[in-house]
Amino acid sequence: MYKRGAFLFGVFALIIGLLISGLYGIENAFSKSVSSVKSSRTKILCVSRGYIYDRNLNPLVNEKIYNMEYLINDKTTSREITVERYGDKRLCGHLIGYLDSGQNAVCGIEKSYDDILLYYSGNLSVSYNISANDRIIGQLGKVKNTNYLSAGGIVLTVDKNIQYITEKCLDDGNLKVGAAVVMDVKTANILAMVSRPDYNCNEIDKAIKDDNSPLINRALTEYSVGSVFKPVIACAALEYGVNPEDKYNCTGKIKISDTEFECHKKDGHGNVDLFSATADSCNTFYINLTEDIDGGFLLNIAEKFGFGSRTEIADGIYSDSGKLPLKEEMTKGEKANFSFGQGTLMASPLQMAAAYAAIGNYGVYNQPLVIKSMVDENKTEFKRVSPLPSRRVVSEKTAKTVLRALEKAVSDGSGKNAMPRNTTAVGKTATAQSGWYRNGKEITHSWFIGMFPADTPKYVVVIIKEDGVSGSSDCAPIFKSIAELITSYE
């Protein structure tokens, strides 16, 4: 009886133990399953940044849009749209600037308007659950669009097509080191700005080591200008009361105090007036022209044209101020150099463009600008940049007289190579002494500055080539191509 009871008790205890063990196993399994979920995560798939547009709302960034296929822990999703900030052949690179590898703005418009471009930034993201061993649990969530590719941003005065034309013509013209600016004559709005050499945003270290300094925006850099400054001197002389038809006999040289200055034509140009001297770029005529004009008067006119002061074209983006000699430095010799754009005088391509635009605008100067407005996510303008007030620097009569001289320079003078086939033009060449030397020989910079059409100038184009041969051979043909293509584009 006792043995039978003990046996039954043992069996009962075994069953209870098994039941308890099973319950513990179920509980442990449940606990293990719950603890295997570590957390949920969100992965940013791609990011975007506010747009930079040309004046017609054509994008200058975020142009290269394509599909991407993203992968998380061996799970491939469907394709989603992504964007590359700068394309393979970006336009307006020096002006726009670039972002570093961490997507931080470094320079240019990107840096100056970083707050607005960041405000209109966005991303595509996806959320998912992961286990304790970082494995995805379940399905990936739906891709979330947070302001991705918002249309808000900055509108420039640049015209994308004119920018493309200008870059193409410089490259086709083999201008490897130099710059170009295209400006609206009436407003001084910058329609194109090019600096060469260009650089790759993804190879900044290489650009830093390049002897040609491709990171420099040469359109805003000061240079010796040479004879392209003569129209400013002509304006000053006419304002002073000089008769443009007065003759001067160029013999090839002229002596001022104890210094003898030579004309580029060694045997002289003979009898010339303001028109023929400008056309043939006669230095001795201009030296004689200014001999009896007070140096302070010449400097005052130059200052009115914007020389000697740095020019802000956008928030925090400036052209070099260049250099004007001080009034007390305007000895007879310095004034002689100043009369044909040499000596201590320095100016940037942008400053030269604005000065010529004032002449083409019949004596009215406008400060150059490159920012037009700001737009929201609907491309609706919410802020327009107001230019500074215009100012008259010389009379309309003076400006028109100088334009006649510049027209002769293209039709009959040193600027013949600039004459377009489908429009008319005015302009001036220069081959400027730089003060730079290589192997004991001074390097010269080639210039051409022109406007078209000749009768009512609409565009001014400045071209400079470092270490050039002459403005006539290096830069005038490039102007010709730019003028022809812009005229066809219109």
Minimum mean pLDDT range among 6-20, 114-128, 452-466: 6-20
- Which residues have a Cβ under 8 Å from the Cβ of 224 and sit 6 or more positions away? 341, 342, 345, 346, 432, 433, 434, 435, 445
Average pLDDT over residues 357-365: 98
**Tens-place pLDDT, residues 291-301:** 999 999 999 99
The DSSP 8-state label assigned to residue 389 in this structure reads P
Mean pLDDT for all residues in the chain:
90
Structure tokens belonging to residue 396:
């309309």
Using 50, 70 and 90 to split pLDDT, how confident is the model at 9? Answer: very low
Using 50, 70 and 90 to split pLDDT, how confident is the model at 46? Answer: confident
C-alpha span between 252 and 177 (Å, rounded):
32
Average pLDDT over residues 458-466: 98
Q: Is the pLDDT of residue 50 over 80?
A: yes
**Tens-place pLDDT, residues 250-298:** 999 999 988 999 898 889 999 999 999 999 999 999 999 999 999 999 9
Place of tokens 């219109």: 490
CATH fold for domain 39-156: Penicillin-binding protein 2a (Domain 2) (3.90.1310)
Question: What's the confidence (pLDDT) of residue 79?
Answer: 66
Using 50, 70 and 90 to split pLDDT, how confident is the model at 132? Answer: confident
Alpha-helical (H) ranges within 36-159 are 93-96, 108-112, 114-119
Superfamily name with CATH number, domain 160-373+387-489 = DD-peptidase/beta-lactamase superfamily (3.40.710.10)
The DSSP 8-state label assigned to residue 395 in this structure reads -
Question: What's the confidence (pLDDT) of residue 223?
Answer: 97
- 3-state SS class at 383: strand
Question: What's the confidence (pLDDT) of residue 83?
Answer: 82
Residue 474, φ and ψ in degrees, nearest 5: -85, -45
Question: What's the confidence (pLDDT) of residue 74?
Answer: 59
**Tens-place pLDDT, residues 85-112:** 987 788 999 999 999 988 899 999 999 9
**Positive or negative: CA dihedral 114, 119, 123, 128:** positive
Question: What's the confidence (pLDDT) of residue 221?
Answer: 97
C-alpha span between 136 and 132 (Å, rounded):
10
CA 367, 372, 374 angle in degrees (round to 5)? Answer: 140
Domain boundaries, the chain: 39-156, 160-373+387-489
| Cβ-count burial 84-115 (b if 16+ within 10 Å, e if not) | ebbeeebbbbbbbbbbeeeeebebbbbbbbbe
Q: Is the pLDDT of residue 350 over 80?
A: yes
Average pLDDT over residues 366-374: 97
Question: What's the confidence (pLDDT) of residue 75?
Answer: 59
- Cβ–Cβ < 8 Å for 66, 142: no
Question: What's the confidence (pLDDT) of residue 24?
Answer: 43
Minimum mean pLDDT range among 57-71, 151-165, 379-393: 57-71
Minimum mean pLDDT range among 79-83, 342-346, 467-471: 79-83
Q: Is the pLDDT of residue 423 over 80?
A: yes
- Cβ–Cβ < 8 Å for 92, 370: no
Instruction: Give the HSE-up count for residue 466: Cα atoms under 13 Å, Cβ half-sphere.
Output: 20
| Residue 477: closest CA among 164, 170, 109, 27 | 170
The DSSP 8-state label assigned to residue 142 in this structure reads P
Instruction: Give the HSE-up count for residue 393: Cα atoms under 13 Å, Cβ half-sphere.
Output: 33
From residue 435, alpha-carbon distances to 212, 224, 226 in Å are 17, 8, 12
Question: What's the confidence (pLDDT) of residue 73?
Answer: 58
**Tens-place pLDDT, residues 174-209:** 999 999 999 999 999 999 999 999 999 888 999 999
Centre a 10 Å sphere on the Cβ of residue 409 and count the other Cβ atoms it contains: 28
- Cβ–Cβ < 8 Å for 218, 197: no
Which residues are 384's β-sheet partners? 373
